[in-house]
Amino acid sequence: LSLEERLASYVVEGTKEGLIPDLEEALNRYTALEVINGPLMAGMGEVGRLFNNNELIVAEVLQSAEVMKASVAYLENFMEKNESSVKGKILLATVKGDVHDIGKNLVEIILSNNGYHIVNLGIKVPPERIIEAYRVEKADAIGLSGLLVKSAQQMVSTAQDLRNAGIDVPIMVGGAALTRKFTKTRIRPEYNGMVVYAKDAMDGLDLANKLMD
């Protein structure tokens, strides 16, 4: 197998044996983020496909997630850090009912490496907790992540709850079940502030930079 195929297969197989030396080798050719967005994401895509076809069970997908997390934790040490003054404070949460956090945590890494103070509220975060944290932290923006189809709907009701609580700071949403169109037609009308859709973590950084300008 080529290096790229091996990297994808660690994720698909859910095994860490040989992972770190291969990640080290990959860093000679690619940036840390390219390794994540390329072969590792390709592996995750395959895991999703196999799981969808009932060829993997949840326990196996969890092992794949462990490999992805270990890889990101290792690669994080090699990411460019921009130690500029703090650009803003952003709350991050995976919405109520959803446990997927690898994407959200990647967003946290990218944003905090680029001058943002991130308050990561974790997974399955109900709107009440977001509202409470907003009041304590006085954040400049709120980031919502969700991968399940029902999470897209959860973002609509979270936006309504935030609006009803009088909050109008920008909201950034992201995750596999969302689209720009859904964001525009379904979430934005329910909120008084700006709502932007980020397709990936780097897009999230670009948008955050624009929002904080």
Q: Is 201 in the site for ligand B1M (CB under 6 A)?
A: yes
- Output the 3-class SS for the chain: CCHHHHHHHHHHHCCCCCHHHHHHHHCCCCCHHHHHHHHHHHHHHHHHHHHHCCCCCHHHHHHHHHHHHHHHHHHHCCCCCCCCCCCEEEEEEEECCCCCCHHHHHHHHHHHCCCEEEEECCCCECHHHHHHHHHHHCCCEEEEECCCHHHHHHHHHHHHHHHHCCCCCCEEEECCCCCHHHHHHHHHHHCCCCEEECCCHHHHHHHHHHHHC
Catalytic site includes residue 117: no
Which of 134, 135, 174 has the alpha carbon at shortest distance from 155? 174
- Which of 98, 101, 140, 161 is catalytic? The answer is 98
Catalytic residue among 100, 140, 145, 161: 100
The single residue of 9, 64, 71, 151 carrying the catalytic annotation is 151
CB closer to ligand B1M out of 22 and 198: 198
Using CB under 6 A as the binding rule, whether residue 98 contacts ligand B1M is answered as yes
Distance CA(9)–CA(15), nearest Å, equals 8
100 part of the active site: yes
Closest to 92 measured CA to CA, from 73, 109, 80, 70: 109
Pick between residue 29 and residue 199 the one whose CB is nearest to ligand B1M.
Answer: 199
Which stretch, 97-105, 128-136, 160-168, 182-190, contacts ligand B1M (CB under 6 A)?
97-105
- Rounded to a whole number of angstroms, the minimum distance from the CB of residue 124 to ligand B1M is 7
The least distance separating ligand B1M from the CB of residue 181, rounded to whole angstroms, comes to 16
Q: Does 147 bind ligand B1M (CB under 6 A)?
A: yes
Q: Which of residues 52-91 bind ligand B1M (CB under 6 A)?
A: 52, 58, 61-62, 64-65, 68
Is 126 an interacting residue with respect to ligand B1M (CB under 6 A)? no
Asked if 175 interacts with ligand B1M (CB under 6 A), we say: yes
Contact set with ligand B1M (CB under 6 A): 44-45, 47-48, 51-52, 58, 61-62, 64-65, 68, 92, 97-104, 106-107, 143-145, 147-149, 172, 174-177, 198, 200-201, 204
Catalytic residue IDs: 98, 100, 151
